[in-house]
Structure 1
Amino acid sequence: MGRPKSKRTFYKSYNALSRKQKWLRRQNTLRQNDFQSDEDSTSTKTIQNIHMSAIGSNPSESPSTSVNTQAHNETDFCNVLPAAELSSDSDQASEESFNSDHVYSCQEEGLVEKRAEHIPFHSNTDPDITKIIRSWALNEVNVPKTSVSRLLKGLHAIHTKLPMSFNTLLPRPDLQYKSMIHGKYVHFRNWMSSLKDLLYNTFNHISGTVQYSLVINIDGLPLFQHSPDFKMYPILCTIYKVKSRPICIGIFSTEKSTCREMPDPEVLLKDFLNDIQRLHSHPISCDNLKFQMAGKGIFVCDAPARSSLKKIKSHCAYNSCERCTVTGVYDDYSHHVCLLGHGSFRTNEDFVSHTHENHHTGISVLADFGVDMIQCFVLDYMHLCCLGVTKRLLSWWKGVKRQYTAKLSSSSISIINERIEIYKDYIPVEFNRKMRNLSELPYWKASELRLFLLYTGAVLLKCKNTISIKRYRHLKSLFIAMRILLSSSSNETSLHLCSKLLYDFVSKCTTIYGKGFVTYNVHSLVHLVDDYKNYGSLDLVNCFVFESYLGLLKKYVKSGYKPLQQVSYYAFHSNENILSMTHSKFAGLNKGAAAGIIEGGITLPGFSNAVHFRKFRLYSDCIIYANSVANSTIQFNGTIAKVFDIILHGTNVLFIIKKYRNVTTLFKKPVPSSAVGVFNVDCLSDSYQVINASGKICKCIILPYKKGFVAMEIIHSIE
């Protein structure tokens, strides 16, 4: 051992360190005094620029200029364009071109959205900066709380009503956590007030009694990839036909890996069913409106969650079909239970009386509550068609899981991967993800599979040396049927055709891929038409919006210490700020660096004083860009055209377009492709035409095919 240090050496080093600390303190004090004189003159200007940037304004504007603000999902706070910022070649054109009482909007079919009666170009109302920052802090879960607190302290010099810290902006709620069998449950008492705010915000333009239905989702959420200790089961809901962020009703979390299954529905749903009963007995009232709940709810879940809630056999069992009494057979080659053929249809009366005992595992509390156990449980097309059937098809073509009979050659897979890379430049902004090549197929998300099923697959696989004609015709039946089921204007004739195509697709799976291919998901395709007859387009009742919300919940878990408390903190404040986090966007010309006025543009006779714009919001989740490769193609009155410029002339928003001269069908059998909004186009016209943007216009995705393009109407909504 070395010689111990003497006390003299210890005190000497201590005194030296103490002097250094004192010197550092004196230097910090001097710096603060030096900057104190400049702080008063610069802080106001700096913070003002931060504020104007946060709400999407131009820092060069005068502070008195204010705009109406709608919060954007990615901190892009789009503002309605003020008249003061519009410029043209003459003052007379400026006076005539902007009218604050004019509306530029296009109606969207299928969804009920909050729309203003008029969209002004100028407003003297200050935006609520507290709501903007609160919504931003909830959305940007990766921003540290300390950064939000520093921003609030800086902005407090201008807005004295702003909170000073993150904990004041989003205070920690007082929640009660109840212990259950193998975990804990928290029930949010504020979800009904959030429902009231959302209903009133949507229907405040009418009076009387409004009937509404709730779309309910329960799904498992694994929190950590390499740890099975925690799994959550949030109970979420939205309003049927109202586009909004889900409301969180309650969350159950397991605590140990010994049991990660959903608890008994009678225990899990006790508080929720009491609230539903209260909504029926005491309807929500606000001003001159009365909101009456219709039915007991529409349950949109995946197959394992449905089997737990309904107390029926799982999707791997012999009697697993929820709509008919078909009995499955075991396939030794694929090691799956295959549901071949069709049985008699199940009814709610048969379900309640347990007519088919082999289908049940117990008595469901929802059946006793009065829920229709057949019609009120929707077969979610996200899990059934995208993650189920489409991914199964691609997996068999790729030759995974020993299914080599349907495997494509390596050259065919290479051609498909090349086409996928080419199509990436043609995917519009309305799509969350672009497809990856087939080598990453196990990691494809549901949105990528939806893109392949509804849009790119029918064009990509029509190219030579990809798949056989027999397989392509087989896939085409599913492609046509799903586009019919996601359309909002399908009639009885088209639904009859859709049902015939789905039956044909399922029956031919046995001859093309073998009976091992016809599992629960493939068989259940034939029952999707029933859901369309009950609830309309399948785009109104699916899990895409709920899965997006679950992703946000998962991001809010920072560590393994009390994950339920971390998630419930976010879910509670998400309910409290449901209106600001719903991000309803109005159709029209929006302000911003990427959407403002552009110089130049196309000048036509009679429109010399028009103002040119880069983009126009056709409706809430659809944006048209001028002269863009992927975002300029539109369809109106059976015509396909490309938008080259967007102008504001007087009080009208106009599109300067060129039509495609050669418009044909991509295929003619079993029905022409034009019947499902798919066209083969080529050769733009030489002359420009002007159309009004307020007409019935829909955006298209355009994909290269041979010497021309294939244009398809975008039929899904954006989450």
Structure 2
Amino acid sequence: MFNHLFQKLTSVVRNYHNFRLQLNIDGLPIFKSSGLQFWPILGMLQEYSRKPVLIALYCGNSKPQSLSEYLKDLVCELKSLSTGFVVNGKTFFLTVCSVICDAPARAFIKGIKSHNGYSGCDKCVQSGIYINNRMTFPELNARVRTDVSFSNAEDEDHHVQPSPFCETSIAMVSGFPHDYMHLVCLGVVRRLLDLWMGTCGKLNYRISSRQVSFISGKLLALRSYIPSEFARRPRALDERLRWKATELKQVYQNFMLLSVSIYILASPTYCLLLNDFANTLLRSFVKHFGELYGQGFLVYNIHGLTHLSDDVKVHGHLDLISGFPFENYLKKIKRMVRKPSSPLQQVIRRISELDSTSLKDEETWNTHKKLKMLHSDGPVPQGFTGAVSQFKELSIDEFVINTAERDRCVKMKNKILLVQNIIVFEGEVYIVCKEYRHIAKFFDYPIDSTELGICFVSDLSPNLMSLKLDTNVQKCV
């Protein structure tokens, strides 16, 4: 199945002239017993849409056998749209800014050696070393690959077959950034947990069952304080094999070099400002990782951390090049299949019913505010006379402020506040709150946490205050 990109673009050409398209390609098992799987191609317009759309969908008992046949229609249309297309007398252009894949899909789409091959790193030129049945990449300063060197196939051992994407304007090295959902959350963090608690780690760095129980208790105690924007709340460590990427994303704080560097690279504020510092931290992490756990664990995911900051320099912070929105959409596609027979047709019908092929205005990045849960039980500070409307919840873009425990801590006007009420007075929204009067650093290695806006607060003032809603309000945990 192939849905034409042109049909999707015509609904938004009124406001945009140059489109930056992000593609996602990955395999998706449908029914484990049957062996059937999808290979969808998803797209998302940067700076316009937060919801992916389905461009193409392959269904079979294995991944597509012919790469050229699989990508033929997409490549043909990308080449046509990149040279310009005319709608209502105006010319528009489409550029693919990035392609998001996990390691196996990236190797398949680019026509290169797999991540467990000797020339498997698609960011630098180094020959891997096979240790304890694992392919490792211990070198930290290997010569980097470039878009030009890839096009010229200078490293013959790296290439398996020509990729149809080479016929387009897609940058075959810089245009394929590492996805930190797979690389860090499901890769590095899961590996750390296995080393600390599994049977593959050495006894000198494995934690005891008592320590596991203690940490699990702390994680479970945090459940009521985790904001609603997190897809999942903490679970006990003995359930770690069932943890999803969003849960593993929260655990990396235990290892500070990794934690701080990923925090910096995931931050729109710090990702470029402190990019070189984050790169230094990640390289130190990889070096120390090999010394602590053994060179045999310096596999593709661990090595990939050394290239993460370069991807951020090209594409922006990590959440702009992550697989999270695409994984959420893949889950929806899988749910559209209700029986083993004719899975492709089922998805086509469901998508047609939901009209998900069109880009709606509500998917834009426009700021909006929604007030919910009208009530009348206060508190309302003195000074507000006349008609005052009270609400328990305020939605701003993609986060929620609520008077409930998990969603009531915010930062506004350089103050850390605990929300007590949300009121509307004379058409303006006010936050009724109490201020934390003591702010201290949360950690000091490898950097003072307050320099990153991470702090420990205490001493909540008993006095109510009201602040007009600021456009720079931030949600806190």
Global fold match (TM > 0.5): yes
Name the CA distance, whole Å, in 1 between partners of 2:230 and 2:99.
26
- Cα distance in 2 between the residues matched to 1:199 and 1:413: 54
Residue 372 of structure 1 deviates from its aligned partner by 1.4
Q: 2:218 aligns with which of 410, 415, 419?
A: 419
How far apart are the structure 1 equivalents of 2:203 and 2:461?
A: 48
Match of residue 223, structure 1, among 15, 23, 30: 30
Aligned position for 2:240: 441
Whole-Å separation in 2 of the counterparts to 1:326 and 1:268: 30
CA RMSD of aligned residues (A): 2.1
Match among 470, 474, 477 for residue 698 of structure 1 = 474
Q: Report what 1:352 is aligned to.
A: 151
Return closer, same or farther for 1:583/1:368 CA change in 2, 3 Å cut-off.
closer
Q: TM-score, normalised by structure 2?
A: 0.94
**Partner Cα separation in structure 1 for residue 169 and residue 66 of structure 2:** 18
Corresponding position: 1:250 with 2:250: no
Contact 1:195 1:247 in 2 (8 A): no
**Per-residue deviation, 1:400:** 3.8
Counterpart for residue 496 of structure 1: 276
1:211–1:370: structure 2 CA closer, same or farther, 3 Å change rule?
closer
Unaligned stretches of 5+ residues in structure 2: none
What amino acid does structure 2 have at the position aligned with 1:629?
Answer: E
Question: 1:682 maps to what in 2?
Answer: 458
What SS does structure 2 have at the residue aligned with 1:502? Answer: helix
Answer whether contact 2:114 2:120 (CA < 8 A) is retained.
yes
Partner of 1:657: 433
Structure 2 CA distance for partners of 1:448 and 1:599, relative to 1, 3 Å:
same
Deviation per CA, 1:180-226: give whole Å up to 9, x if none: xxxxxx1124x4322332454xx3xxxxx622210001110100133
Partner of 1:579: 360
Which residue in 1 is equivalent to 2:186?
A: 387
Give aligned pairs, total: 474
Q: Is the 8 A contact 2:8 2:359 kept in 1?
A: yes
CA separation in 2, counterparts of 1:425 and 1:491?
Answer: 30
Contact 1:643 1:655 in 2 (8 A): yes
What TM-score do the two structures reach when normalised by structure 1? 0.63
Give distance in 2, aligned partners of 1:364 and 1:552: 29
Q: Does the C-alpha gap of structure 1 residues 402 and 452 become closer, same or farther in structure 2, counting only changes over 3 Å?
A: closer
Residue 345 of structure 2 corresponds to which residue in structure 1?
A: 565
Q: Residue in 1 aligned with 2:331? A: 551
Alignment match, 1:431? 230
Name the CA distance, whole Å, in 1 between partners of 2:55 and 2:373.
40
Structure 2 CA distance for aligned equivalents of residues 650 and 245 of structure 1? 35
**Equivalent residues in 2 for 1:272-283, closer than 5 Å:** 272-283=74-85
The list of structure 1 runs, each at least 4 consecutive aligned residues, that deviate by more than 4 angstroms after superposition, is: 401-405, 580-586
Code of the aligned partner of 2:464: Y
Deviations 1:19-40 (A, max 9, x none): xxxxxxxxxxxxxxxxxxxxxx
Deviation at 1:516, TM superposition (A): 1.8
Structure with the largest fraction of strand: 2
Question: Does the CA-based 8 Å contact 1:196-1:284 persist in structure 2?
Answer: no
- Mapping of residues 141-160 of structure 1, within 5 Å: none
- 1:632–1:284 Cα change, 3 Å: farther
Partner of 1:291: 92
1:271 lines up with 2:73 in the alignment: yes
Matches within 5 A, 1:664-679: 664-679=440-455
Runs (5+) with no aligned partner, structure 1: 1-185, 204-208, 462-474, 702-719
In structure 2, the CA distance between the partners of 1:363 and 1:589, relative to structure 1 (3 Å rule), is closer
**Could you say which residue in structure 2 is the equivalent of 1:612?**
390
1:107 equivalent in structure 2: none
Partners in 2 of 1:364 and 1:281 — Cα distance? 20
The aligned residue for residue 137 of structure 2 is 339
Contact 1:262 1:308 (8 Å CA) reproduced: no
The corresponding residue for 1:156 is: none
Q: CA deviation at 1:369?
A: 2.8
Shift of 1:583: 8.7
Amino acid at match of 2:83: S
**Secondary structure of the corresponding residue to residue 187 of structure 1:** coil
Partner SS, residue 614 of structure 1: strand
- Tell me the distance in 1 between the aligned counterparts of 2:362 and 2:397: 14
CA separation in 1, counterparts of 2:88 and 2:180? 36
Report whether the alignment pairs 1:324 with 2:147: no
1-side partners of 2:155 and 2:82: how far apart? 32
1:676: Cα distance to partner? 2.2
CA–CA separation in structure 2 for the residues paired with 1:266 and 1:357: 20
Q: Tell me, yes or no, if structure 1 residue 631 matches structure 2 residue 407.
A: yes
Partner of 2:113: 313
Aligned to 1:533: 313
